[in-house]
Structures are given as structure tokens and as C-alpha cells.
Amino acid sequence: MNYVDEIKRLKQEKNAVILAHYYQEKEIQDIADYLGDSLKLAQIATQTDADIIVFCGVHFMAETAKILNPSKKVLLPVMKAGCKMADMISPSALKRYKEEHPDTKIITYVNSTASVKALSDCICTSTNALKIIHHYLDQGDSILYCPDQNLGKYAMKQGGVSFDVWDGCCPIHHFLDPKKIITMKKKYPNACVIAHPECKLDILELADYVGSTKQMLDYTIQSECKEFIVCTEKGVLHAMEKACPDKKFYLASQTLSCSNMKYTTLKEVYEVLKNETNEIFVEEEIAKSAKKALDEMLKLS
């Protein structure tokens, strides 16, 4: 069966739209109606007039789309596609922190479950984290940034400020070894290093540019640089190579691969679209509170 043709046919027949994150496999990126980072995909989810959203990404992304646009049917091609970082904070642990710090504002990275979002004052993504953190600090609030310690520490360093951070991380970015970057820089002396802020500070200090996946992509398009050492999940290289066919992209390490992002295949996209299975549901009370925190992010973005 030609899955690409069948997916196109079903999309039209059912008024469905396919959203995909840059970390998805090439063939999934190529069939997507919208390709984006966490922020862009969340914004699209609020705007689409399709009846069905097939979310090619991980569970928290599909859940976010459902919370932002509850009247839509949101389908996740592979239900087990989770996020290791999102699993590093539980609602009960966050509740305990809140009881001990009743006046602290909770700023939560979008890589979190709906139940954790529901306990938060505001959500952020890697695109808008610094802006949102500073919005609260400028108001004189004390904040907790959770669950990504690396983005939190990067924001502290950038702003010369201090606040509480959770000790979660994305293992894919967190365990990138700075020695790899140093070796790569020797091999490609003219290459610019670009890094995602989920990497540790010792990596970010070696980078010429730090940003979300979309910001990194835009940087590669605008930069005079012709070669790039890329410190984020390998999927984004496909979008970079397509956007800049005359430039060269080197993945900083072969370990930069998120298995959860790679579960989605064309077969699964076809099957969920055909059978309308793997629908995402979020409990009403949780969805209401999580939406408040997400709306706050969209307002401040």
C-alpha cells in the first residue's frame, strides 16, 4: 500500500490535519501539514479548523493540543510515545513543593503531563522560557522553574538571577559530552555550534547560538556560516538540510536520538487516521486548570 497517498486521501475525506515536531522521522515531517517546535505546534492547535488533529510527536504534545482545542479529535499515532523529562515530575511531588512554598509561582516547561500543568501558574517552551521567567521575576515574584534544570540554569545565567529549579532533564540533551563538541570543532573549524537549551551549561558555553529547534533552524537560514555542529535531536537536521541545501550540518553525537520521537511511522499515521483510534482525552477539571496556565503562556508569548 502507498501510505502517503492513502494518508492524503483520508485527510481530505475526514477534514484532518497532521502536525509534526522537528524530531520526527523524515517521512513523517514530509507528510505534515504543519511542522514546528513545541510553541508553534501549540499555537497551530488553537487555530486549526480541521475536525481531527493527528499529532506526530510525543504524548504531552498531543495532550496540549487537546487542552487548547477540546472540541477537536486529537489522535496520537503511538500511545507509548512519552517524554522522559515529563516523567521526572509527578503531580504529588509538585503539590508537596507548593505546600512548602505557597507564594512561589510555578513556571512549567511544556514537556510535562496535563496534571502537572494544572498545578502551574504559567507554561513555557524553549522559545519563550526566558521571556516568561523574566516577566514573573520583574513583577517581584519568587519562582520555581520545572522540570528542566538545564533550561532553568541557562535562564539564571543569562539573566544574572536566581530561582528554584526542579532536577529533571532531557537525557538525550543532558548527557551530551562537551568533549564531542571540542573534537567536532577541531574536525570542522569553520562550523558554527548551535545548541538547544535542554543541553547542560558546559555545552551551551561552547555554542555560537542557543535556541529552540525552530530558532536554530531560522538561525541556520540567516547565518553567514556554511557549516553547523548541531547539538539537539537529530530529526531537525532534515528540516535544516531542506531549508539550506548549500550548507552542511553535522550532528554533534549519534546519541542525540529520542526513541519516543522515532516510534511514529507512516503505517501508524495511516492506521490512526483510518480507524480514529488512540484518541487523547484529558479529565475536565485538569484540562480547565492546565488551559489557564497554557493561555497565560500564549498571552505572554
**Chain residues in the site for ligand SF4 (CB under 6 A):** 23, 58, 83-85, 111, 170, 172, 233, 258, 260-261
Total chain residues near ligand 13P (CB under 6 A): 11
Q: Does 111 bind ligand 13P (CB under 6 A)?
A: yes
- Rounded to a whole number of angstroms, the minimum distance from the CB of residue 127 to ligand SF4 is 14
Does residue 193 contact residue 208 with C-beta atoms inside 8 Å? Answer: yes
Choose between 7 and 231: whose C-beta lies nearer to ligand 13P: 231
- Rounded to a whole number of angstroms, the minimum distance from the CB of residue 45 to ligand 13P is 13
In Å, what is the CA distance from 87 to each residue of 90, 96, 156, 168? 7, 17, 24, 9
Distance, in Å, from the CA atom of 7 to the CA atom of 267, rounded to the nearest integer, reads 9
Q: At residue 101, what is the residue type?
A: H
Work out what residue 125 binds among ligand SF4, ligand 13P, none; the CB cut-off runs from 5 to 8 Å by kind.
ligand 13P
Choice from 24, 29, 38, 112 touching ligand 13P (CB under 6 A): 38
Q: Does 296 bind ligand 13P (CB under 6 A)?
A: no
Cell numbers found for residue 63: 495532550
- Rounded to a whole number of angstroms, the minimum distance from the CB of residue 262 to ligand 13P is 12
- Rounded to a whole number of angstroms, the minimum distance from the CB of residue 82 to ligand SF4 is 8
Segment lying near ligand 13P (by CB under 6 A), choices 6-14, 120-128, 202-210, 265-273: 120-128
In Å, what is the CA distance from 99 to each residue of 59, 105, 212, 252, 288? 28, 12, 32, 42, 21
Distance, in Å, from the CA atom of 224 to the CA atom of 165, rounded to the nearest integer, reads 36
